[in-house]
Amino acid sequence: MKRARVVVLPSSFPGPGSPVMGRLETAGIEVVTNPHGRVTTEAELLELLPGADAVIVGLDPITRAVLEAAGSLKLVVKYGTGMDAIDLDAAAALGVAVRCTPGANTVSVAEHTLALLLAVARRLPEAMGQDRVRPVGRELQGLVLGVVGAGMVGRQVLTLGEALGMRTLAYDVRPLPGAVPSLPQLLEQVDVVTLHVPLLPDTYHLIDEAALSRLRPDAILINTARGGLMDEPAVATRLDAGALFGVGVDELELKDGPLRRHPRVAYTPHIAARTRESAQRMATACVDHVLEFFGEDARTHQEARDPGA
C-alpha cells in the first residue's frame, strides 16, 4: 500500500526529530516540509502539492486551482482557525476534507491582544528608543472594553480585560446572554474595541467610516484577527484627525498602506499565535487530524468551518 504523503507548510511547525513529527513518521507517513521557509504562493503550491495526500497549511492560499492541480489531495488541515485562505466551496465540491485546530492558539492570541492594547495605551510606538520623547499614555482600569466576536479568543480577552479592572461588553452575530444586540450599539459605548471575527464577505471592512464615526474621539482600536476587517485608509484618516487615540494591529490588508509606520499604530507582522506553546498545541492537533483521517476509522469527507476566531 502506498504511504500517505503529507506536506507541512507552516514555518513554526516543529521540525524533523521533534516528537510531533515523529508521530507522523512512526505511523509510516511520508512528510515533506516547506522548502521556501515562508508562506507559499499559489504558483509554488501548484508545483509542491501534486502527489500529496494531505497538507498542513498556515496562511498559504489553498485556491480552487491549487486543489484541482493537487490531484490526490484528500485532506487540508489548517494550523490555526482562520479559514479565509482556503476555498471551502471548492474543497467540498472536490471531496477534500478540511479541518482546523480551534482553541489551540486561544491563549496566545488573547495575550497578544492585551500586549498591543497596553502598547497603544502607553504610546510605546512613539516612545521606544527615545530619550526625550515622553508621550502621555492612558490607564486601562475603568475603561470600557468592547469585544467584537465572542468566540474562544474573544471570551479570553474579556477575562483578561476584567482582570485589569476594565468594564466589558461583547457583540457577536450569534445571540448570546448579556451581549450587546448590535455592533453600532457596542461601538457607541466603549473606550476600546477589539476584533475577533473571521474574515468573510460580510465582515470585510466591518470597521469602516460609518463604524469609526460611532467611536469616542479617544477610542483605541485593536485587531488581532484579519487585516481586511478594517478600512485602513479610513482608520488612518481618523488617527490623523485626532479622532482615535491609537491602533494596534497584527495583520494589515495594505502591507505598505498608511498604518504600516504610523506613529500611533502598534503593528506586528501576524505573530499573535506564534508562541512555542501555541505552536506545539496547533501542531499536535494537526497531527491528530492526519492520523485520525488516515486511520481505519477515517471518514471520507468532513468540511470544517471556522468556529469563531
Mean pLDDT taken over the chain: 92
Kindly report, residue by residue over 271-285, the tens digit of the pLDDT: 999 999 999 999 999
Q: With respect to residue 234, please indicate whether it lies within any of the assigned structural domains.
A: yes
Q: Give how many domains the chain has, as a whole number.
A: 2
pLDDT at 298: 36
Percent of the chain with pLDDT strictly greater than 90: 87
Asked if residues 193 and 148 have their Cβ atoms less than 8 Å apart, the reply is yes
Same domain assignment for residues 209 and 79: no
Task: Note the pLDDT tens digit of each residue in 143-194.
Answer: 999 999 999 999 999 999 999 999 999 999 998 899 999 999 999 999 999 9
What is the domain-level CATH number for residue 215? 3.40.50.720
Establish if 304 belongs to a structural domain. no
Decide if pLDDT at 303 tops 60. Answer: no
- Asked if residues 32 and 38 have their Cβ atoms less than 8 Å apart, the reply is no
With respect to residue 123, please indicate whether it lies within any of the assigned structural domains.
yes
Q: How many Å apart are CA 102 and CA 27, to the nearest integer?
A: 24
Is 64 part of the annotated catalytic residue set? no
Same domain, 99 and 130: no
Residue 304 in this model has a pLDDT that exceeds 50: no
Residue 196 is a catalytic residue? no
Q: How far apart are CA 198 and CA 150, in angstroms?
A: 11
pLDDT at 308 over 80: no
Whether 296 is catalytic is no
pLDDT band with cut points at 50, 70 and 90 for residue 76:
very high
Alpha-carbon distance of 195 to 211, in angstroms, equals: 13
Catalytic residue among 5, 260, 270, 292: 270
Kindly name the residue from 30, 111, 253, 292 that is annotated as catalytic: 253
301 part of a folded domain: no
**pTM given for the model:** 0.87
* 193: containing domain: 106-267
Residues 74 and 97: beta-carbon distance below 8 Å:
yes
Catalytic residue among 226, 264, 274, 289: 226
The 10s digit of each residue's pLDDT in 190-242 is: 999 999 999 999 999 999 999 999 999 999 999 999 999 999 999 999 999 99
80 and 171 part of one domain = no
Are 78 and 146 in the same domain? no
Assigned domain for 177 exists: yes
Residue 309 pLDDT: 39
Residues 160, 213 within the same domain: yes
